[in-house]
Amino acid sequence: MRILDISQPLGSGTAVWPGDRPVEVGWTLKRGSGDSVNVAALVMSVHAGTHVDGPHHCDDGGRRPAELDLAAFVGSAVVVDARGRESLDLDAVAGIDLHDAERVLFRTRDAVDPGVFPRRFAALTPALARRLGEEGVRLVGTDAPSVDPFDSKTLTAHRALGAGGVAILENLVLDNVAPGRYTLVALPLRLVEADSSPVRAVLLETPA
């Protein structure tokens, strides 16, 4: 079995959504300063790097990360090569049996630079977001920073996916991942007060 890390590296150079809190790493204790151990402290947005967009992100009554069904974040997944598209519409999943694809991950870019925020990216259309929910898809992931366009104020795709019970993974790194089927593991932290959560997302590739 091969493990493919599809998470963005997190550090002070990680690009975040414009206006969001940057990643800050400090040190509470340092051996170089005479302390017996090194102890780091991390301050960051829960949307920095690869993360789960939780229901509370768009809905004040939505579930927090600690309340999410973890089964949505572990299991069979299909990676779809959607590069070159302006948006992700129904034709992006043409030929895919969505009844058998519980988790759908879209590769929309040739390469992800974690230090650069892309203002232009392929987002999901409301029609595709609704279709994924209707077909019983449990999770949708993208290597873009959002499932909605950068300038969206209504977050229609977020809301349609939420209404359909579809979990959302954003800021994946699928540069070296071939289209096909894998096993996804991308567990959110058990955060009881936040709206969303960073994750360490991996794909498991089992030899044929």
Which residues are known catalytic residues? 57
Contact indicator for 50, 8 with CB cutoff of 8 Å: yes
How many H helices and E strands in the chain? 2, 13
Helices within the chain (DSSP H only): 126-134, 156-163
- The DSSP symbol for 106 reads E
Helices within 74-206 (DSSP H only): 126-134, 156-163
Buried b (16+ CB within 10 A) or exposed e, 112-140: bebeeeeeebbbbbeebbbbbbebebbbb
- The DSSP symbol for 60 reads T
- As a whole number of angstroms, the distance between CA 206 and CA 81 comes to 20
Count other C-beta atoms under 10 Å from residue 33's C-beta: 8
